[in-house]
């Protein structure tokens, strides 16, 4: 039995690897509390385990070694260790649940209202209800639209056998808030589906889309700033029209203080995706606005999912700063935010970003070294790695290696059935343009280079500016 493998790949260790320093410290306090844990052996086990954090990986990190610390004079007992690991894993799950409510005051207030009502604490219920309704409806709405409906539902249940006039009043509020929540949720889900159709091979049915939009307009729901942002987020993805780009920017600025994290994130991503499509079509001015959107998102913290920054956003921010030739800013970002990446992603993502940075700094050999260290599995990252390998091989005159990648790339594109037509077409167009460029690098036929440049200019493709620059270099060499 490989005890090292068994220890490092337990659910417990996978959980602990995701904990921040503060969470590890709080988790230790959690398990030391007799209310949550009455087993001192778990505290001792955690004390020994945490010594190997945050990566929890070492030749000494085995179940046998930990057992020796817990029971120095006993013979190793794997059943005992499995039980300890299982019990601490359950506590880790409980800690995550407990921790998820720690900063959600609105959830606490709603739960407390329900308890006051059930226990017949009328004065306390009415005081908390009045304070919450008077002072915090916007805060509750920002945290979760559904919470406002829950607040009024609590009021309805409370007044049923006390004051029926109040029941009628809160029935209307409950219905209005639920209807707004439902419309908002419908549009949010449809927006996610439309965005997914841009990224993957998907064709969703959305039979109520027009009806929901019409109902929202007829009931003046667009006076609700959050719903307005959600609607424009959907419409910009659906229509790809520039007027919705302008409207969404304005609505986002107007509503920023009342938006939930997810609503604000989706709105910024819709603006960024629109800008990227425009930039791929040759309108490079959008890269500057995309950079500003990412800066605002970093400032507001909406890119963070728990303690971690998604590798997808990390790569995109670095790429945008490189495109804007803010090389120092790109490196500064990598150094500052790399610790926010998930430990399992960190090394590969940092190497990929440094490969891009070194490439645009003209350090092609260094870029190649960075790429050689990458072992990524995500489909769209694989494609990006192949694209940069091709460009590096072009710059280093490694023609044979380039043709090998082109051949494997073509087979890969034919086999992939998950990515959207847009994603595959922009990659396929890059590959076609690159292949033509590589052939003309040898022949130096100026008229064919001119034709290729016109084709690149009118095509949605990745790395458009690099392709154009290389084509112009060939013309200049021929001249």
Report the chain's terminal Cα–Cα distance, integer Å.
Answer: 69
pLDDT tens, residue order, the chain (479 aa): 444 445 778 899 989 988 888 899 999 999 999 888 877 889 999 999 999 888 888 888 889 999 999 999 999 999 999 999 999 999 999 999 888 877 677 778 888 888 998 998 999 998 988 888 776 554 444 445 678 888 899 899 899 888 888 899 899 989 888 888 888 888 888 888 888 887 777 788 888 888 888 887 777 777 788 888 988 999 998 888 999 999 999 999 888 778 888 889 999 999 998 998 888 777 888 999 999 999 999 998 899 887 789 888 999 999 999 989 999 999 999 999 998 998 878 888 999 999 999 999 999 999 999 998 887 565 467 888 889 999 999 999 999 999 999 988 888 777 766 666 777 888 899 999 999 999 998 776 778 889 999 999 888 888 888 999 999 999 888 64
pLDDT score at 182: 86
**DSSP class of residue 449?**
H
Q: Distances from the Cα of 221 to the Cαs of 173, 214, 228, 242, 364, in angstroms?
A: 14, 10, 8, 23, 54
pLDDT score at 76: 92
Measured CA to CA, the distance from residue 37 to residue 93 in angstroms comes to 13
The model scores a pTM over 0.85: no
Block residue for tokens 């490092």: 8
Instruction: With CA atoms as reference, report the closest residue to 339 among 51, 54, 28, 50.
Output: 54
pLDDT score at 377: 60
Measured CA to CA, the distance from residue 216 to residue 357 in angstroms comes to 47
pLDDT score at 276: 86
pLDDT score at 418: 62
Q: Could you write out the DSSP letters of every residue in 321-360?
A: HHHTT-HHHHHHHHHHHGGGS-HHHHHHHHHHHHHHHHHH
> How many residues does this entry show for the chain?
479
pLDDT score at 1: 44
Question: In degrees, to the nearest 5, what angle opens at C-alpha 263 toward C-alphas 257 and 268?
Answer: 90
pLDDT score at 314: 95
């Amino acid at each position: 039995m490989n005890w090292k493998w068994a220890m490092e790949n337990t659910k417990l260790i996978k959980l602990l690897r995701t904990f921040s320093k503060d969470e590890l410290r709080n988790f230790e306090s959690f398990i030391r509390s007799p209310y949550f844990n009455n087993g001192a052996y778990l505290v001792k086990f955690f004390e020994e385990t945490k010594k190997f954090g945050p990566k929890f990986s070492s030749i000494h990190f085995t179940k046998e070694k930990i057992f020796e610390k817990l029971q120095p004079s006993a013979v190793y007992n794997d059943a005992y260790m499995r039980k300890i690991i299982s019990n601490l894993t359950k506590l880790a799950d409980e800690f995550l649940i407990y921790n998820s409510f720690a900063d959600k005051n609105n959830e606490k207030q709603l739960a407390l209202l329900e308890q006051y009502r059930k226990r017949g604490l009328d004065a306390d219920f009415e005081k908390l209800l009045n304070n919450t309704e008077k002072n915090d409806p916007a805060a509750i709405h920002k945290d979760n639209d559904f919470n406002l409906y829950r607040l009024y539902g609590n009021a309805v249940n409370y007044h049923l056998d006390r004051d029926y006039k109040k029941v009628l009043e809160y029935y209307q509020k409950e219905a209005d808030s639920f209807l707004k929540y439902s419309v908002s949720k419908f549009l949010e889900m449809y927006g996610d589906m439309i965005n997914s159709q841009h990224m993957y091979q998907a064709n969703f049915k959305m039979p109520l889309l027009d009806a929901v939009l019409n109902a929202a307009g007829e009931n003046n729901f667009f006076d609700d700033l959050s719903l307005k942002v959600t609607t424009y987020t959907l419409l910009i993805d659906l229509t790809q029209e520039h007027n919705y780009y302008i409207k969404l920017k304005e609505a986002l600025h107007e509503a920023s203080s009342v938006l939930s994290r997810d609503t604000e994130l989706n709105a910024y991503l819709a603006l960024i995706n629109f800008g990227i499509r425009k930039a791929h079509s040759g309108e490079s001015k959008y890269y500057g606005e995309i950079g500003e959107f990412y800066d605002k998102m970093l400032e507001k913290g909406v890119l963070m999912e728990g303690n971690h920054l998604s590798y997808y956003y990390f790569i995109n921010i670095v790429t945008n700063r490189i495109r804007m030739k803010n090389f120092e800013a790109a490196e500064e970002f990598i150094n500052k935010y790399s610790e926010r990446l998930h430990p399992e992603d960190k090394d590969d993502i940092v190497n990929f970003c440094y490969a891009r940075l070194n490439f645009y700094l003209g350090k092609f050999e260094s870029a190649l070294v960075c790429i050689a260290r990458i072992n990524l599995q995500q489909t769209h990252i694989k494609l990006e790695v192949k694209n940069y390998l091709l460009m590096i091989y072009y710059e280093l005159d490694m023609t044979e290696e380039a043709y090998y990648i082109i051949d494997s790339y073509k087979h890969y594109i034919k086999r992939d059935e998950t990515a959207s037509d847009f994603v595959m077409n922009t990659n396929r167009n890059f590959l076609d343009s690159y292949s033509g460029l590589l052939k003309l690098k040898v022949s130096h036929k100026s008229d064919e280079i001119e034709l290729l440049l016109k084709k690149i200019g009118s095509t949605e493709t990745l790395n458009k500016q690099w392709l154009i620059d290389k084509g112009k270099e060939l013309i200049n060499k021929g001249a």
